Amino acid sequence: MATKKVLVLGATGLLGKALVESCPENVTLCATHLRDLPAEFPLSNKMDRLDITSRDDTLRLFQKTRPDVVVHLAGVGSVDFAEKNRQDAWGINVQGTQHIIDACRNIGARLVYLSSNAVFDGNKPPYHEESAMYPVNYYGQLKVEAENAVRASGLDYAIVRPMLMYGWNYPHARENPVTIWIRLLTEDKPIKVVNDHYWQPLYVGDCAELIWNVIENDKVGVYNISGPERITLFEFALQFVQVFGFDSDLVEPVPSSYFPTIAPRPVDTSFVIDKIRIKLGIQPVPVAVGLEQMKSTQSKQGESLR
């Protein structure tokens, strides 16, 4: 891999953490954050603060760092926040993405954009990379708009669509289903888990591997990535408690209608992942394997969550 400078926007999230930890030795890594970082935060003295809603600040940072490749992870990641705060979410996820596109164009950088399975309605699975996009919630609509902006940008780009990632997040960062379950079950609190929607949970390390592969090999286009198993969130939780040794009696299956105040979710956005397997050699691990990998690094990365 030729030496590249890579700028990761939004590096304090789950995937950003995985990218930083798996960064190839011959990559010069730059990273950004938005909110204040605790003094003990890893890389706190090596990250730039960036609000992507400011076009001037975005252009200025790109001129300062001059990356070869930009990995755009920044933005609103909460489906429910986007549904309830539409103007703010649009300004960050769509307008902010346009600022990044403009900044990439100014310095000739390639762009890797993180999208989502939320671009699909879940009515006609499984979905491949070229399937028609019909989102069922506002978050998905924003992802479609941002994808379309990236496609029309004239940049060399890759769009990566992960599904339900799990792994160790930084302390104080946004949690994912597994770390939420760990926190609650450690306190012997029961959890209610939806049993009528289907997912293919993805270990975050596999998504990081895909992105580094795309960067290393100068790949372009759209890539769906998920785990290989189509299961409900309840079935995911049962595998989780078995691996981590929690009481399965604390896990209660409920229909999605149990949570009436949240934004609608697609019922089944199962992916066809032949493209990443055949063209990139990426083989995402089954849930049990990913959970075992998490457990094996628990004392190093997860102790603060327990």
Structure tokens at 185: 């079950």
Q: Is the pLDDT of residue 44 over 90?
A: no
pTM of the model: 0.94
Let me know if residue 34 belongs to a domain. Answer: yes
Range of the domain at 52: 4-167+202-228+270-285
Let me know if residue 60 belongs to a domain. Answer: yes
Let me know if residue 160 belongs to a domain. Answer: yes
Let me know if residue 69 belongs to a domain. Answer: yes
Let me know if residue 301 belongs to a domain. Answer: no
Q: What is the mean pLDDT of residues 56-70?
A: 97
Q: How confident is the model at residue 244 (pLDDT cuts 50, 70, 90)?
A: very high
Q: Is the pLDDT of residue 300 over 90?
A: no
Let me know if residue 197 belongs to a domain. Answer: no
When divided into structural domains, the chain yields a total of 1
Question: Tokens 């730059």, residue?
Answer: 30
Q: How confident is the model at residue 299 (pLDDT cuts 50, 70, 90)?
A: low
Q: How confident is the model at residue 303 (pLDDT cuts 50, 70, 90)?
A: very low
Q: Is the pLDDT of residue 238 over 60?
A: yes
CATH number (domain holding residue 163): 3.40.50.720
Q: Is the pLDDT of residue 304 over 50?
A: no
Name which residue leads in pLDDT, 166 or 41. 166
| Total Cβ atoms within 10 A of residue 262 | 13
Cβ proximity of 208 and 22 under 8 Å: yes
pLDDT tens for residues 151-186? 999 999 999 999 999 999 988 788 999 999 999 999
The SS3 of residue 116 is coil
pLDDT tens for residues 87-113? 999 999 999 999 999 999 999 999 999
| Total Cβ atoms within 10 A of residue 148 | 12
Q: How far apart are CA 287 and CA 201, in angstroms?
A: 7
DSSP track, 25-56: TTEEEEEEE-S---TT-TTTTSEEE--TT-HH
Name which residue leads in pLDDT, 43 or 171. 171
Closest by CA position to 181, among listed 22, 287, 300, 77: 287
Let me know if residue 176 belongs to a domain. Answer: no
Q: Which residues pair with 30 in a beta bridge?
A: 7
Q: Which residues pair with 50 in a beta bridge?
A: none
Q: How far apart are CA 8 and CA 14, in angstroms?
A: 12
Question: Tokens 């959890």, residue?
Answer: 191
Let me know if residue 72 belongs to a domain. Answer: yes
| Total Cβ atoms within 10 A of residue 17 | 21
